[in-house]
Homo-oligomer: A and B are copies of this chain.
Amino acid sequence: MEKSFSQIKELLISKGLKVTHQRIVIYHMLFNSLDHPTAELLFDKLKINNPSISLGTVYKTLDTFVQTGLAEKVLSETGSYRYDANLNSHHHIYFTDTKEIVDFYDSELQELIITFFKKKSIPNLKIKDFKLQIHGEKVDTAENQIN
């Protein structure tokens, strides 16, 4: 799952982007983050090994990634943009208490929904993608039913 710098280079080239050190490390950090970080959070982590990197560059680069389809913005209620380089179709669990956003995927559920929309289409809409946001609370027990 981890991507090497040379794989990331290939990826950038394949999108017609210049290969810069900043793009490589930003992509690498984002791709290996499971927590859908904000630009600021990425910047803080990147600074440690790349002291000269600037927050503006992180913003610009993330925007470039979104434009070229290397990453997506994750809708968030926290007042800042969050990003995701996992482009496999997947859903998000929003933990209302901890504000974590965690990936979720289930092929059966996926099939269920796709089958539904194949059967019942929505007027004037060409569906490109759908995402389920599952909102809930962390519980330590096995008591995790839907209410």
Contacts and interface: CB of A to CB of B under 8 A. Distances in A.
Interface of A: 73, 75-77, 79, 81, 93, 95-96, 104, 106, 108-109, 112-114, 116-118, 120-140, 143-147
A108 to B, nearest CB: 7
Given A113-B132, A130-B132, A132-B132, A118 B146 contact: yes
Contacts of A131: 132-133, 135
B113 A109 contact: yes
Consensus secondary structure, chain A interface: mixed
B134 A106 contact: no
A134 to B, nearest CB: 5
Contact of A117 (B113, B125, B133, B146): B146
17 contacts: A93-B122, A96-B128, A106-B120, A117-B146, A122-B136, A123-B144, A124-B139, A125-B138, A126-B136, A126-B139, A126-B144, A127-B136, A127-B145, A127-B146, A128-B147, A130-B133, A131-B132
